[in-house]
Amino acid sequence: MTDTVQRVQAWLRDHEDDLLRDTVAMLRVPSIQSDPELNAPFGKANRDALDLALRMSQDYGFETKDIEGYCGYAEVGSGKPMVMSLGHLDVVPVGPGWKHEPFGAEIDGAYLYARGAVDDKGPTMASFYAFRAIKECVPDLDVRLRIVFGCNEESGFKCVERYVKTEEMPTLGVAPDSGWPLYHAEKGICNFVVAIPLTAQPVADFYVTGLSGGQRPNIVIDHLVAKVRVGQAIRNEVAMKASEYWDRNVSFAWDGDELSIESSGKAAHGAAPFLGDSAATRAFRALAALAPLGADRFWETVLETTQTSGVGLGIHGRDDASGDLTNNLGIVRTHDGRFELTFNVRRPVTWTADEVPTRLRAHVATLNLKAEVASFDASEPLYFPLDHPLVKTIVDVYEAETGERKAPGVMGGGTYARAIPNTVSIGTGWEGDGPAHETDERLKIEHLFKMSRIYAHLFLRLIEEAKKLA
């Protein structure tokens, strides 16, 4: 095994320029989900990214399959056991404030800047090259290696849902989309909409006619605009409060009797909303501060729903295996005569499936908002014991490659691992890389190369483990 690992890693060192070139090409595809087209259920750009991945795979001698544009895969080897890697080519929207062109794949110093550099195109390409290296160095491979290229991880997992319907599951699998050495537990994910009728507002002289902010449920809102119709009787009072308001991330502008409130924050991944700065929280706080008596408590209650612990929705809590529940308000909009607040919640792994919706509905019914839970969907958590062979193998390989014995982690994020049996998520970068879902996402070029070598070692070890399980 040691000789094989060294031979494969030497091949990767000799082909680092190729890995960088192909990664840059993939990062330049603006694969944000858009309207569906023929054989492109997630839009043309995502289809373009998948076509590029499959074309590269064919050029390098892999067998490929396009699964109706939902996803595709490349495979090499033979035999019954199969080791799988699952990466995604879609990315979250860009947002404002970038210093580097988001899809320029610019190299600045030691880093490669682009949306998707860390999440998840960079790791996916590193994994692909690890497979390619094994293909070139181990010609008589008696285990199949399959890399799946997904196109809808950031917006619903419809790609892997389609894969599961007709395709083969792995003997062992990894999703290179988390932290080192691996995450053996992923919290359950809930997305739901709390709808509040506009007519629930208690004061006609301070009447919010529109709210607009957010891009995805799993991103902290970094910009929000509220439109408020203000009656003449309280115009001076509201204007004075606005002129004295303390938050410089909130601005006010008048157009006749309409007050526009614009708030700015900082985007972050919805799995760790406390790392961001919610523009919705700032806007709702301002609404509560400017509102006259009778309307202030209404907006304070809306403000409370943004608490990252979930306490304002009655769903806060924790378990010993995975820690605290987290709550992110990701989208706010006015639609069909109501405010719609879309939340993204990560629940502890040992909670039952009905714990969050039951508590949520009971609490929402007690609020002074006339609100209802308009929709609710969830994905189950993932949990592997620490003594599982897949977990132990990954920990061992990471120690062998880095000299660091590191314990598996628990994450609030959701990866493909939760949707595919016998699969866990593994690490994607190191200090200085990222952050995912934020401006100027970046990956150190040397880290791209290092990942490919660690992945190759890991896949060689998983090949041996998969043979034992076949």
- Active-site amino acid positions: 90, 153
Measured between alpha carbons, how far is 102 from 290 in angstroms, rounded to an integer? 37
Residues paired with 148 in a beta bridge: 73, 86
Start-to-end C-alpha separation, the chain: 19
H or E element, residue 463: helix 445-469
Provide the token pair at 347.
């629940």
H or E element, residue 48: helix 44-59
Measured between alpha carbons, how far is 381 from 412 in angstroms, rounded to an integer? 9
Measured between alpha carbons, how far is 61 from 75 in angstroms, rounded to an integer? 9
H or E element, residue 362: helix 355-364
Among residues 323, 317, 292, 318, which one has the least CA distance to residue 228? 292
H or E element, residue 379: strand 372-379
C-alpha 148: how far from chain center = 18
Provide the token pair at 33.
């989900």
- The 3-state DSSP composition of the chain as helix, strand, coil percent (nearest 5) reads 35, 30, 35
Measured between alpha carbons, how far is 396 from 35 in angstroms, rounded to an integer? 44
Measured between alpha carbons, how far is 248 from 116 in angstroms, rounded to an integer? 31
Query: Are the C-beta atoms of residues 153 and 178 closer than 8 Å to each other?
Result: no
Query: Are the C-beta atoms of residues 180 and 118 closer than 8 Å to each other?
Result: no
Measured between alpha carbons, how far is 215 from 278 in angstroms, rounded to an integer? 12
Residue 243: half-sphere exposure toward Cβ, Cα within 13 Å? 6
Q: Return the axis-axis angle of helices 389-402 and 445-469, rounded to nearest 10°.
A: 140
Give 325's contacts (C-beta < 8 A, 6+ positions apart). Answer: 187, 309, 310, 315, 316, 317, 318, 345, 346, 347, 348, 356
C-alpha 35: how far from chain center = 20
Give the length of the chain. Answer: 470
Residue type, 293: L
